[in-house]
Structure 1
Amino acid sequence: MNTSAHDGSRAGYRRSAGSPRGEARRRELLDRVTDDLAVNGLVDFSLRRAARAAGTTHKVLLYHFDGAEDLLRQAVFNLRERRIGNALPAIAARGGTLADGVRAIWPILMEEEPGLRRVLDQAMGLAMYDPARYVELGREASGQYLPLLRSLCPDGWTEERRTRVAQMVLATLRGFLLERLIGEDDAGVGAGVEALVGMLEREEAAG
């Protein structure tokens, strides 16, 4: 992936913030770049590739974004929002407990479009490989997922307990996703998810 300065990320074009029309245009461009990422992944991402996908020039993108890395970060954020949006109806249909939520989320994570899953895996890989440049890709993931998981915790739990359990669930699901990506034991991963759900059911029943 190429997000270096020669792509124009330091050209100094002004941002479009503050204008409703400018924000609508920024949103349109971001959606087009997000769609491209979902199909083609993060490999060889550049400002010029993004401009081609958006049907514009790299200078126009620099008017609306702070460079290639900012655009990439916002597009990955966009993809996670799509993942969360896909999960919400299934969670609501299950009944709304944390255990029900995890049971509803897991099949969606397994069945979602391959491009979406690949890009989000690549984003986490970048955050681990080069944290000096891409740590926000990982931090923002937690910032997006944890509020949903906390919201599913019982009303009587303290905020500290909600956060602690939500962090545990997120870390465990990430581990299962990684294991499924690099391993071949789908049955074992499935059993692990069921064990996690069972533990959460006992935790919620304990009050």
Structure 2
Amino acid sequence: MDNATGERAGYRRSAGSPRGEARRRELLAKITEDVAENGLVDFSLRRAARAAGTTHKVLLYHFESAEDLLRQVVFALRERRIGNALAAIAATPATLTDRVRAAWESLRDEETRLRRVLDQAMGLAMYDPGRYAALGRGASGQYLPTLLEFCPPDWPERRKFEVASMILATLRGFLVDLLTSPDGDGAAAGFEALLRAVEREEAAP
């Protein structure tokens, strides 16, 4: 991937300008679709510029670096995943168990390419944390608020956090299993055990 550190000197950012912000969002949307389609392998400012129909210098006007652009792309794709899950639970009963089941069905059935891109992002964070740690740190920060909202409102905040963290870590493991196993039987079996654990939590005083 390009390292833009040496290239961005002399370029100013468009933050604060409504017109500049609109252009930044337009560019980000085009690049996000390219990443969703083609993954993160060989991602660079020049590849992103081709996808957006512009130049890498223009991208450096709107984004701090290649890493900053990639972080925003991954954020947008995670927001897409969360939006899909929330749409899936909209008509479900308001129990934590039912919401977790509906969210998992959305995750399980989502486009393979979206799942692969988001897993690639986590792989980059583990492989080169010096450059891409933000890709990993940002994941829990995006997902946890939604899972906390799934929990019963009368639960103490600490209990909500503990249960939501358990659900998040477990579902992320199941998603990896779906990508690496031929049939997904392990994820399916494990998910039923997770649901039983969630049901016990809901039944507890």
Give the shorter-chain TM-score range.
Answer: over 0.9
The amino acid across from 2:86 in the alignment is L
- Decide whether the 8 Å contact of 2:177 with 2:186 is kept in 1: no
- 1:206 corresponding residue in structure 2: 204
For normalisation by structure 1, the TM-score amounts to: 0.94
- 1:116 corresponding residue in structure 2: 114
* Correspondence list, 1:31-180, <5 A: 31-180=29-178
Cα distance in 1 for partners of 2:129, 2:140 equals: 15
- Decide whether the 8 Å contact of 1:7 with 1:68 is kept in 2: no
Deviation at 1:6, TM superposition (A): 7.5
Deviation at 1:11, TM superposition (A): 3.1
Deviation at 1:63, TM superposition (A): 0.6
Select between 96-105 and 50-59 the one with higher mean Cα deviation.
96-105
Residues 157 and 72 of structure 1: is their aligned pair in 2 closer, same or farther, counting only changes over 3 Å? same
Deviation at 1:12, TM superposition (A): 4.2
- Decide whether the 8 Å contact of 1:7 with 1:47 is kept in 2: no
Equivalences, count: 205
Match of 1:181 among 179, 182, 193: 179
Cα distance in 2 for partners of 1:206, 1:92 equals: 25
Cα distance in 2 for partners of 1:184, 1:201 equals: 29
Deviation at 1:83, TM superposition (A): 0.6
- 1:4 corresponding residue in structure 2: 3
% identical aligned pairs: 70
- Decide whether the 8 Å contact of 1:7 with 1:46 is kept in 2: no
Unaligned runs of 5+ in 2: none
Which of structure 1's runs of 4+ aligned residues deviate more than 6 A?
A: none
Residues 61 and 41 of structure 1: is their aligned pair in 2 closer, same or farther, counting only changes over 3 Å? same
The amino acid across from 1:108 in the alignment is S
